[in-house]
Structure 1
């Protein structure tokens, strides 16, 4: 299996299982912290590329242009690619999401709480990493209802501005994103829980191998030395 959104979701889901199973509420706290750290790093890389390209204002338009991923063909073939409806352009950009591969995978695994914990701070933390002055609000998620509603405060988009051309130089494949996710959770698990945390991360790697194959899972080890705080 190639890396895609479902593999990415599986990494987070299994870390949630392993950390909460081994360490209870402290494990959940570590998971939430690692998710925020992961997301903020993504946002910082986006900002670094935008600044490098001469973007003068790190606003919501730049945030959308410098996103690092797009739906994969796998998600589209499975019918779970992201689908959104725009509810408002101004003063706030508000969208309703009715389909999401991360939600689909968490639901398939029967790990709704893991999905809630993953999604509660993810996009808000990406935005904070990109520009801490931006205010992102998550009103509800697919884990608890028919849709996810997200608001980007003060976007003030005109018609069409909410669909800026994605900067192709910002996009990264899901092997990179999965490597980033795995190593962020692993490093924080080890920092917080020491050898037991590192053991939990090894268990996640074994869990992942059962889903996508040992060879695919072990490709994540190539990212051991990558500094995910910095854009390339």
Structure 2
């Protein structure tokens, strides 16, 4: 092919048809440029297709993670709302004029559950991988912003949980709660009658102060935890919707 074009150029020069030679040369240059542009376009299209395939794989994994989170949020929110009702009930009983120190001991010893929901982990492996690898750039700007906002909310709320735990856990230790729990929580075979002596020996003023703080701390923590789930759940749903819309295009 190259020899063919070279022969044409040589023949035009030999025949002193310089104008036609220039036109031919320009045409040849145009063809070369078109060929290069076409090759670049094909290469760009291939890279774009690879990017779409990679993004699609990320999106499927990300949607799986986010949907699992929303399932967990619904379960945990239901539990926390029930917990709030119970804790609020304790508070109302203790506010009653008929409440006594025995009322508080009854609640603290047999009804109050010291355990709190301190789960901080999210199914964020894919989300973090996108950000650390830089492949978050595969997504439109709006979707990128939603991803970053969700990560920021998750981290902010994890920090908030740490603050509450730092306040709550020392309170449970101050009450020495594990040593005074009833027989149904007893893992060491200590009979409840021995624990009764521990409860009877409690300083009432100290006990009232500590348990009141413990109950209020758990109420506050549970209420805040519920708000955290609602906030993160809302942002998660926004990202799910954006990703599903993107996949449909």
Q: TM-score range by the shorter chain?
A: under 0.3
Q: TM-score, normalised by structure 1?
A: 0.25
Q: Which has the larger radius of gyration?
A: 2
